[in-house]
Amino acid sequence: MRIRIAELNDIPQIQIVRNAVKENMLSDPSLVTDEDCKEFIIARGKGWVCEIDGTVVGFAIADLKENNIWALFIDPAFEKKGIGKQLHDVMLDWYFTQTKEAVWLGTAPGTRAEQFYRKAGWTETGIHGKGEIKFEMSYDDWVSK
């Protein structure tokens, strides 16, 4: 297993992982384009992938422009192996070297993702979008972990 910075040639595999998830699925997979991925990993922030035997099995993307976690997804066949936690921690370590601004994300209620973020120390701050739970992580909360 290898965690590394995402590259443009990873986008096809990132899309495969994004569309394989069983929770927080896109209602329309065409809503997240390859160009969107490119913008987020090159212009707006940074992304990381987890590779196993040369195949991307998970990815995470932080957006510095909106102080947001744009994505953190694991291929269902590779869940519960600690990949999400490793990607999460690498991403937040990087994020907080770039800014001290709190970072936020939204996730569907009643999902494993909701429990993951609660366990990781995120604070629920309200509702986002179409009924998603909005979570925030402050710089101080992250560095005191």
Average pLDDT, the chain: 92
Nearest to 123 by CA among 96, 141, 145, 111: 141
The two three-digit tokens of residue 28, written as one number: 């329309």
Lowest mean pLDDT among 28-32, 40-44, 60-64: 28-32
The two three-digit tokens of residue 107, written as one number: 């996730």
CA gap 88, 100 in Å, rounded: 17
Q: Given the structure tokens 């066949």, which residue do they identify?
A: 77
Map out the domains of the chain with their CATH numbers: 2-143 (3.40.630.30)
43 contact partners, CB below 8 Å, separation of at least 6: none
Nearest to 45 by CA among 78, 84, 94: 94
Question: What proportion of the chain, given as a percentage, has pLDDT over 90?
Answer: 83
What is the reported pLDDT for 25?
Answer: 47
